[in-house]
Chains A and B, each alone.
Chain A
Amino acid sequence: GQQLNQSPQSMFIQEGEDVSMNCTSSSIFNTWLWYKQDPGEGPVLLIALYKAGELTSNGRLTAQFGITRKDSFLNISASIPSDVGIYFCAGLLYNNNDMRFGAGTRLTVKP
């Protein structure tokens, strides 16, 4: 099936630094989503993007729906220790019923 390529696989950053991660695919998606998962918990929806070119913020998080509809990025500004976790991108295909997940970006923030 259609795969999402998420990078980087892991990041080790200092508190206060900005973070950027992205997802790409060879397929066109109708919706891009970004989730965060803490250990032992389910993913929590951070940002949903519905239109090509859309740029949406949620606090220190900013995400964009790529103009080609085949990619998306997530930026975290001024990282803090509670940003630690695994970030997953997800895309909904044209029928809005088929959701694909990236493999995740594991973020570690050093105080």
Chain B
Amino acid sequence: EADIYQTPRYLVIGTGKKITLECSQTMGHDKMYWYQQDPGMELHLIHYSYGVNSTEKGDLSSESTVSRIRTEHFPLTLESARPSHTSQYLCASSGFIAGAYHNEQFFGPGTRLTVL
């Protein structure tokens, strides 16, 4: 079972606010990912990291930024939230499980963000 956590689960904020969505995993996975998903729709990769101090932009352009200072932590920040940022944000990780490397991604529960 995957141990990956996201906080907050729900967030409603006003336009212009700075927010940080937290993601942590306790599996020691080297790779971590952020996806954006509108309700019931497909997932779009917005950021990924292959390890500490490694961050890359994904396929979907996003105004958010990420950092990877520790293996277990991959926060996503929006400097100035706008209504167009309203969506569900999913964090995922992949790496060694029981001594074998697995490329399949394990997801957190998500953060549903609403910007008014």
Question: Which residues does chain B contribute within 8 Å of A42, judged by CB atoms?
Answer: 6, 90-92, 107-110
Question: Which residues does chain B contribute within 8 Å of A104, judged by CB atoms?
Answer: 40-42
Stretch at the interface among B13-21, B69-77, B98-106: B98-106
Interface residues of A in 57-111 (CB under 8 A from B): 86, 88, 90, 92, 96-97, 99, 101-104, 106
Residue A21 at the B interface, CB < 8 A? no
Question: Which residues does chain B contribute within 8 Å of A1, judged by CB atoms?
Answer: 59
Residue B29 at the A interface, CB < 8 A? no
Residues of A in contact, count (CB < 8 Å): 24
Residue A11 at the B interface, CB < 8 A? no
Question: Which residues does chain A contribute within 8 Å of B109, judged by CB atoms?
Answer: 41-42
Residue B115 at the A interface, CB < 8 A? no
Residue B43 at the A interface, CB < 8 A? yes
* A88-B42, A101-B43 as given contacts; A43 in contact with B59, CB under 8 Å: no
Among A41, A45, A88, point to the contact of B104 (Cβ < 8 A). Answer: A45
Residue A24 at the B interface, CB < 8 A? no
Question: Are B41 and A45 in contact, CB atoms less than 8 angstroms apart?
Answer: no
Quote the shortest CB–CB distance from B9 to chain A (angstroms): 8
Of A42, A92, A103, the most chain B CB neighbours within 10 A belong to A42
